[in-house]
Amino acid sequence: MAEINQGVRETVNSQATHAFTHTLSRAAISALTPIAAVLVALAFGAALLSLNGFNGSDVVTVMVFGSFQDMRSVGEILLKATPLILIGAGLCVAFRCSIWNIGAEGQLYVGAIAATLVGTSIDGLSVWVHAPLVMLAGALAGAAWAGIAGYLKVRFQASEIVTTIMLNYIALILTSYLVTGPMRDASAAYPQSARLVREAWTPRLVTDLRLHIGILVALVLAVGLYIFLRRSSRGFALRVVGLNPHAARYAGMNVARNVMIAICISGAMAGLAGAFEVAGVTRRLYQNISPGYGFEGIAVALLAGNNPLAAILSGGLFATLRSGSEVLQITSQVPQVLVLVIQGIVILSVVAFAKLRDVLRIVA
Amino acid sequence: MSTRPFLRIDNIRKRFGPIVASDGVSLEIEEGEIHSLLGENGAGKSVLMSMICGMVRPDEGDIVYKGQPVSFASPRDAIRQRIGMVHQHFMLVPNLTVAENYILGQGSALSVISDMDKVHRKIRALSERYALDVRPDAIVEDLSVGEQQRVEILKVLFHGIDLLILDEPTAVLTPQETDRLLCLMSDLVKDGKTVVFISHKLDEVMRVSNRISVMRDGRVVHTVKVGETNARELARMMVGRDVRMELPRNPEPPGPIVLSVENLACRAENGIPAVRGVSFDVRAGEIVGIAGVSGNGQTELSLALSGLLPVDTGRVVLNGKEITGLDPAAINARSFSHIPEDRHKHGIVLPLSLSENTILQRYDQKPFATGGMLNGRVIAEHTRDLIKRFRVKSRDENQPIAALSGGNQQKLVVARELARNPDFILVNQLTRGIDIGAMEFVMEEMLKQRDSGRAILLISTELEELFAICDRILVMFHGGILGELPPDRTRLDELGLLMAGNKEQPAPAG
């Protein structure tokens, strides 16, 4: 017994001595692993391209830096970053609560539908009223759509992984139905809705660019959600529920209510992203308004380590890669599939490094 | 006695990180006996048997089986040597049939499918021989827990074994199913098999075993023949601890009733009745102990009192107001503190900091939060104060609580619960898994609380702990309260008898 006590004492002492370096190394591990993940993935991508007879390093360079040509192209990157940051930051909240919402894509579409309805059916409002109303409609619709999965989870213990994926299909097919049927603009050749009235459009940030104020909203909300998770009572409860639901119940927290709040926040963020796509970019609802932002948002949150503040950076990175791959398609012979493969490698690498980070944190 | 034991375990050691699960265990099993392994939760029974059946590898020591030293890399190796184990948690694929479960991982898919008829016949034959009532084409998830267990036992028999290890098989069974299982064990021995029966239920062990080994703190402390012992002695061997502490009793008579429990009944999470009509009072300024071998309803009693398990019948009254069936938040708000049995499951959130763990219940209350936002400074100050007062060894309040030793984690839980100024404190396993220094500290802290007029209910399987600080001791057995005793060491025998469910001697109320 005495030996054990001695051992414990020594452990405590050594813990205290190494406290500072310990904290430092943990922070370094947290910050460096995502960067390492991306670098390793790009190296793999370059090797893969070389095997296929391309100049790997050149192509990867274009992919990363090719899109930084002028103000316009930077604007396009930020335009793509907007939905990714919104969705990624929202998913950070759900994932922190251990809710695996895979349905951001569907929530985005439902948000886009609601935004279109509000943006086409009302006329004569000031832009100060109508544009925010469209955003609010998108956010509420996204929250409600996610709330369905949340309700099924707390009421029937239905796995949200399954239900959110199912709801994705429903939302996509619903959109197709609406733009080919009831909401179709009869004068157009392609299936699309009528155009939103001008007052409903999301104001542009710079007159000549497509970039709209959505990027600012995304940044503010990402910071807001970071503060919410870190500093608010509700955010604390969400984290406790996510880490240990038994302890949450013991402490008197309402697990079901916290689960609903977390999933609805992530749904609202995705719905808002959908509203911005319609009101800020396309002005109309189409069948394929999202090129998979809802799914890429999962990778954004993952790379950010479920930290909404870091989701700003990882959202920016994924937007850059996406723009870069578009540049590649125009300027080189690299087939689009290979570009997609490289994006896939980035995501796999992020997952692998996230696991490695957890291991290193325990060791450190 | 045969000269060469069937299975000899020699000085086995196994550590999991800082936890010593087997601390030099030696044990001999003879051919054709039912050998029971008795011990409290965490005494090291399951780990020891997992090493014999190839699930876990020992760090040190030898296993000699049928005269040969063996070292199994996997359960499959052990089965090849005709050793099979039925685990507490069943290892069956729920959506497959019984027969399909048995052939998983056996031979090539083609040969197995063509032999399916043979497999079915073999299962039916074994099922009839041991009256197991197992149908080879039944889907596992459609079966009851008792049936699934028979499926597990038949699986082991199907693969052919000489040594059968049963890990707490009766924990999930009804009394009738238990009787049936004990008969089956005798039948297996008649067929020349050897059975190791892990349990902490004294009556079952006494009924069926030839010999009994008692484990405590990762060691075998005694091996006895069943005819040469009794339930009372076994109970003492199981819970005995050498720490002797004499702490002052409260000279003041206890005050008014704070918590009153009337005829409370509830079921465990698996639906089996666990608490069957329990009544008692706890008064201000007294510590009431609940003794008992674990698994007699203590866990469910404390979960039901704190609102974590639904109450079937009965009433719980706190300070004159009924709290039966309220949710934990409402109960917490009525001056009710709870130091839970399973620290890691309920008591703390391991990855969170000490600060965050101290506000687990009061995260949305003043002064820790205002306007929905946490007051980091107030929380940190409060935590530092608790760390100092309760001598919690830690780097600072921002350290994850996972980095602390068990004793220091427990001190923080105790500190948090006492800081909430409770009228009533429910304590389940105050000193489990903590070192002696921390143990004395938290026990003295409980006495201080008692002296300041709080009502304390202390549920424990550690008799020494109960003797040291309780004012009276209730004994729980099979979900009921069997008797009440004063905390008097000279009446240890009586306590042991009650713990074993024996009420022959009338127990005078203390």
> Out of B175-184, B295-304, B357-366, which region has the weakest mean confidence (pLDDT)?
B175-184
pLDDT of B111 reads 65
b (16+ CB within 10 A) / e for B299-308: bbbbbbbbbb
pLDDT of B441 reads 84
- B244 within 8 A of B220, measured Cβ to Cβ: no
- B459 within 8 A of B298, measured Cβ to Cβ: yes
What pTM does this model have? 0.75
Banded pLDDT at A87 (limits 50, 70, 90): very high
Banded pLDDT at B1 (limits 50, 70, 90): very low
pLDDT of B200 reads 74
State the nearest Cα–Cα gap between B338 and chain A, in angstroms: 9
Q: Is the pLDDT of residue B314 over 70?
A: yes
Residues of A in contact with B436 (CB under 8 A): 1, 5
State the nearest Cα–Cα gap between A231 and chain B, in angstroms: 5
pLDDT exceeding 90 applies to what percent of chain B?
A: 46
Highest mean pLDDT among A55-69, A197-211, B39-53, B493-507: A197-211
**Domain A57-363 has what CATH class?**
mainly alpha
Q: Is the pLDDT of residue B507 over 50?
A: no
CB contact under 8 A, B436 and A244: no
pLDDT of B90 reads 81
Give every CB contact of residue B117 below 8 A, 6+ residues apart in sequence: none
Every domain of chain B with CATH number 3.40.50.300 lies at 7-229, 247-335+424-510
Q: Is the pLDDT of residue B405 over 70?
A: yes
Average pLDDT over residues B44-62: 88
- A136 within 8 A of A156, measured Cβ to Cβ: no
Nearest chain A residue to B416 by CA: give it.
A251
pLDDT of B248 reads 64
Q: How many CB atoms lie within 10 A of CB A211?
A: 23
pLDDT of B430 reads 87
CB contact under 8 A, B403 and A15: yes
Tens of pLDDT along B113-163? 677 888 899 999 999 988 888 999 999 988 877 888 899 999 989 888 899
Tens of pLDDT along A200-251? 999 998 888 899 999 999 999 999 999 999 999 999 999 999 999 999 999 9
* Nearest neighbour of A249 by CB, restricted to B328, B363, B437: B328
Q: How many CB atoms lie within 10 A of CB B237?
A: 20
Which has the closest alpha carbon to A167: A183, A181, A153, A179? A153
pLDDT of B435 reads 67
Average pLDDT over residues B68-96: 87
> Out of A108-117, A319-328, B239-248, B250-259, which region has the weakest mean confidence (pLDDT)?
B239-248
Residues of B in contact with A306 (CB under 8 A): none
Q: How do strand B257-267 and strand B313-318 relate by DSSP bridges?
A: antiparallel
- A77 within 8 A of A337, measured Cβ to Cβ: no
DSSP code string of B426-489? EEE-TTTT--HHHHHHHHHHHHHHHHTT-EEEEE-S-HHHHHHH-SEEEEEETTEEEEEE-S-G
Distance CA B177, CA A212 (A): 70
Banded pLDDT at B342 (limits 50, 70, 90): confident
ipTM above 0.85, yes or no: no
State the nearest Cα–Cα gap between A18 and chain B, in angstroms: 10
Average pLDDT over residues A250-270: 97
pLDDT of B163 reads 94
Write out the two tokens for A226: 């970071």
pLDDT of B500 reads 75
To test the contact with chain A by mutation, choose from B299, B303, B360 the residue with the greatest count of A C-beta atoms within 10 A, namely B360
* Nearest neighbour of B374 by CB, restricted to A12, A231, A240: A231
CB contact under 8 A, B395 and A244: no
State the nearest Cα–Cα gap between A244 and chain B, in angstroms: 6
Domain positions in chain A are 57-363
- A164 within 8 A of A292, measured Cβ to Cβ: no
pLDDT of B107 reads 64
Write out the two tokens for B380: 């940190």
Average pLDDT over residues B335-364: 94
To test the contact with chain B by mutation, choose from A97, A233, A246 the residue with the greatest count of B C-beta atoms within 10 A, namely A233
Q: Is the pLDDT of residue A21 over 60?
A: no
pLDDT of A364 reads 46
Average pLDDT over residues A256-271: 98
Average pLDDT over residues A114-121: 96
Average pLDDT over residues B42-67: 87
Q: Is the pLDDT of residue A156 over 80?
A: yes
DSSP code string of A64-84? HHTT-SSHHHHHHHHHHHHHH
Tens of pLDDT along B466-480? 888 899 999 998 899
Which one is predicted more confidently, B407 or B27?
B27
pLDDT of A12 reads 40
Highest mean pLDDT among A299-308, B105-114, B372-381, B497-506: B372-381
- B7 within 8 A of B29, measured Cβ to Cβ: yes
Q: Is the pLDDT of residue B73 over 70?
A: yes
Which one is predicted more confidently, A26 or A260?
A260
- B48 within 8 A of B70, measured Cβ to Cβ: no
Cross-strand partners of B261: B280, B316
Banded pLDDT at B43 (limits 50, 70, 90): confident
Give every CB contact of residue B78 below 8 A, 6+ residues apart in sequence: B52, B53, B54, B72, B84, B85
Q: Is the pLDDT of residue A93 over 90?
A: yes
CB contact under 8 A, B395 and A232: no
Q: Is the pLDDT of residue A7 over 50?
A: no
- B496 within 8 A of B232, measured Cβ to Cβ: yes
Q: Is the pLDDT of residue B92 over 60?
A: yes
CATH of B247-335+424-510, one of 3.40.1280.10, 3.40.50.300, 3.40.190.10, 3.40.710.10: 3.40.50.300
Nearest chain B residue to A18 by CA: give it.
B395
State the nearest Cα–Cα gap between B327 and chain A, in angstroms: 7
State the nearest Cα–Cα gap between B349 and chain A, in angstroms: 6
Average pLDDT over residues B278-294: 92
Strand, helix or coil at B274? strand
Which whole-number Å values give the CA distances from A203 to A200, B104, B314, in the listed order? 9, 63, 64
Cross-strand partners of B10: B62
Banded pLDDT at B252 (limits 50, 70, 90): confident
Residues of B in contact with A247 (CB under 8 A): 345-349, 360
Q: Is the pLDDT of residue B71 over 70?
A: yes
pLDDT of B113 reads 67
> Out of A29-43, B184-198, B243-257, B297-311, which region has the weakest mean confidence (pLDDT)?
B243-257
B7-229 architecture in CATH? 3-Layer(aba) Sandwich (3.40)
pLDDT exceeding 70 applies to what percent of chain B?
A: 91
Average pLDDT over residues B307-327: 94
Highest mean pLDDT among A58-72, A232-246, B47-61: A232-246
Strand, helix or coil at B102? helix
CB contact under 8 A, A246 and B306: no
Residues of A in contact with B333 (CB under 8 A): 252
pLDDT of B436 reads 65
What is the average pLDDT value for chain B, to the nearest integer? 86
pLDDT of A36 reads 84
pLDDT of B18 reads 64
Reported as type and span, the H/E element at residue B67 is none
Banded pLDDT at B203 (limits 50, 70, 90): confident
Banded pLDDT at A10 (limits 50, 70, 90): very low
